[in-house]
Structure 1
Amino acid sequence: MSPLASMAAELVELVGWRVLAAGDLLDYVRFRAVCAHSWSSTIHPRGHGITDSRFHPRRWMMLPDGHRLHLEDGRKRFLNLDTGVFVRPRVPLLDDHCVLCSVEGLLLMQRQHGDQDEDPICLLHPFTGDTAKFPPVTYRTIVRLFGSTARLNSHNNGSAYLLPGRVTASLTVDAEGFIMITVVLLDVSRVLFATTKDKQWRLSAWSFSPNGSTISSRGKFYMLQPKPTSSVELQILQIDPPRSEKIYGSSSSSFPAPKVIAICPTGMFNALFELVECDSEILLVDSSDYVLSKRMAVYKIADLIQGRVTPLTSIGDKALLVGVRRSGNVIGRNLSVSLKAMPTIAGLENQG
């Protein structure tokens, strides 16, 4: 008999939360399966996969389509970026939906066929099957928000507007469990936001340059943007989500304006800067000298905010996978991975 069977239910539940905090969702699921008592004493992730951030699969990534990375029976391969473990769940919603981007490990999706004016934008937890639905985003949606003079892409009238690689998103869940998604649109350089209670999307009153690196982390966006009064300096902006008491308002001004939190160190507009999250820290990567020296300068945003302009000498057992953009055509996904998960990278590091 498992030692857990003799423990108080409250203590088993506490141990379960500790397992989840120290590991990830897979460790928690295995803990629950130890015995009937651990199963009944802990919260099932299904039904809480989106509203409870502790169950978000932040360090899991679905491998891209093609190259025979997925199984022929429809199951998809997901990789844990810390451990290198693969899982192969069946995700039925992917049969007729495409993934627009990943949000805290959740999948923001749009139906590929059907009535695009009726089919909602869907947020899916790939392991629990939990979903949250938001209003559709179509050509007509953009015309309604921007008018006939808006810079629109070449989709047919009424067709789905969002495209993979041209959006990034952040997720916010308030204390009452209301879910809000915020979407950066590269094509029109604006930000949309909606809750699961809304019938229409709302628009930020401000715009941005589409060429700067943009990432989301725990409900906030971080974005590189040119300084308005300078042709060479880049600012680091933080964009907070609308406050819960305002998200049901009709005014676009309810979305807070971006705030400048730091300036890029070298101050050169043509420097190759990217943002990436690593161990809950937002990092700034300068790869300007990579072609010549094969080295990058990495800064903590927290240090830059305090005025400490000193590159990191180590990022521990992590490697940064940074796709340096050459134009504003796509929003790339920069990653931090453990060397344990990617032994090939560790081998290249040792050779270098």
Structure 2
Amino acid sequence: MFFPRKWLLMVAGEKLHVDKSPERFVNVVTGGELKIHLPNPKEYTHHGNAEGLLILHHSRTDTVCLLNPLTMAFVDLPAMAAVHDADVALRGLPSDVRLDEHSIEAAGVVAEGNIPATVVLSLKSGMHTAIVCAKPGDVVWRAVDTSCADEIECELPAIEGGLSLNGRFFVPTRAGDVLALELRPQPKLTLFVARHGSGGDDGEAHEGGLNERYYLAPSGKDDANAGMIMVRSWGPGYIYFDTFAVDVSNTSVSVHEMDGTDTTVFRPSITVRSSAFPHVEANTAYLEGCMDILFHGDDM
């Protein structure tokens, strides 16, 4: 499967154009632009990216679709209506919790060996988080066992969001650990690396807190084992941050200094090369909802 990983769909407020005009894509490394006509936005809505692939929802059929914007290859996934039943079967969510296309917090594509590529959706509704997966051609979603995160005692969701990276899907916990999705024998999250083991800023084991959030973003490097940046945010509006480097090859985490890296992170999960975008601040992590900075000088 070809992943247009370096291309980012630039849509203000995640809304596609409704006047049949092409959508703007930017290359996160070079800053180059493409204009691409996407499927009819009156029928399809955009709900996330997975390594450059677009997650769309078809309003008439309720199906989730995966689109490669460079090749226009298009595959259908199960209906969103089936997500709720799949998740309740495993986790026993309250019957009044509804998970639909608007619940999508993150998406990913997992490719393990000879298994067909599997699409992953990380969903959030109120205080509840669920993860489901399906392969193209499936008619039902499979619930992912997230019980390994249940030991985190917190009034807020223990896990949120996620990052698709080089055919794997990773999820940060509120305590700063990184979980990985394994498909066999049954889909489940497993501990990938524990930040507890690296110690906090003062050398003590870190326990996380109600006023902290963790995000995962690509490192911005080109090699296949480039790893991830983990951003820890805290304070009013989560305005303060520090960063950690997650080494995927060695399953380790260490303090990461952004200075001189020529990277800028847009939370929750986008990394661009700072020098390719003159309107962004280099070597920093922007708050959520600040993607409009990349539109500087353009009509949104």
- Between the aligned partners of 1:299 and 1:174, the Cα distance in structure 2 is 26
Aligned to 2:47: 100
Q: Deviations over 1:164-208 (max 9, x none)?
A: 463312213455572311222222422211112422111123355
Contact 1:262 1:301 in 2 (8 A): no
Residue 111 to residue 210, structure 1, CA distance change in 2 (3 Å): farther
3-state SS in 1 of match to 2:85: helix
Aligned to 2:279: 344
Letter in 2 for 1:135: P
The gaps in structure 2 that reach 5 residues or longer are 150-156, 201-205, 285-300
1:175-254 pair list within 5 angstroms: 176=114, 178-187=116-125, 188-207=128-147, 208=149, 209=157, 212=160, 214-226=162-174, 234-243=175-184, 246=185, 254=186
- Between the aligned partners of 2:43 and 2:189, the Cα distance in structure 1 is 36
Aligned to 1:42: none
Aligned to 1:30: none
Q: Select the residue among 60, 65, 74 that pairs with 1:122.
A: 65
Cα RMSD (Å)? 3.6
1:195-344 pair list within 5 angstroms: 195-207=135-147, 208=149, 209=157, 212=160, 214-226=162-174, 234-243=175-184, 246=185, 254-263=186-195, 265-266=199-200, 267=206, 268-269=208-209, 270-278=211-219, 279=221, 280-288=226-234, 296-302=241-247, 309-312=254-257, 314-322=259-267, 333-344=268-279
Q: Select the residue among 74, 85, 91 that pairs with 1:143.
A: 85
Aligned to 1:91: 38
- Between the aligned partners of 2:67 and 2:266, the Cα distance in structure 1 is 25
Letter in 2 for 1:216: S
Counting strand residues as a fraction of each chain, which structure ranks higher?
Answer: 2
Aligned to 2:75: 132
Residue 152 to residue 314, structure 1, CA distance change in 2 (3 Å): farther
- Between the aligned partners of 1:100 and 1:142, the Cα distance in structure 2 is 17
Contact 2:53 2:66 in 1 (8 A): yes
Residue 68 to residue 136, structure 1, CA distance change in 2 (3 Å): closer
- Between the aligned partners of 2:105 and 2:135, the Cα distance in structure 1 is 17
Residue 86 to residue 200, structure 1, CA distance change in 2 (3 Å): same
Contact 2:11 2:23 in 1 (8 A): no
Contact 1:213 1:273 in 2 (8 A): no
- TM-score, normalisation: structure 1: 0.61
- Between the aligned partners of 1:145 and 1:295, the Cα distance in structure 2 is 34
Letter in 2 for 1:61: L
Residue 219 to residue 345, structure 1, CA distance change in 2 (3 Å): same
The question of 1:162 aligning with 2:162 is answered no
Contact 2:57 2:65 in 1 (8 A): yes
Counting helix residues as a fraction of each chain, which structure ranks higher?
Answer: 1
Contact 1:101 1:165 in 2 (8 A): no
Residue 98 to residue 237, structure 1, CA distance change in 2 (3 Å): same
Larger radius of gyration: 1
- Between the aligned partners of 2:94 and 2:107, the Cα distance in structure 1 is 21
3-state SS in 1 of match to 2:256: coil
Residue 131 to residue 153, structure 1, CA distance change in 2 (3 Å): farther
- Between the aligned partners of 2:28 and 2:270, the Cα distance in structure 1 is 9
- Between the aligned partners of 2:40 and 2:108, the Cα distance in structure 1 is 21
C-alpha deviation, 1:88, in angstroms: 0.7
Contact 2:46 2:56 in 1 (8 A): yes
- Between the aligned partners of 2:25 and 2:68, the Cα distance in structure 1 is 12
Residue 152 to residue 129, structure 1, CA distance change in 2 (3 Å): farther
Overall identity of the aligned pairs, in %: 16
C-alpha deviation, 1:259, in angstroms: 1.3
- Between the aligned partners of 2:280 and 2:32, the Cα distance in structure 1 is 16
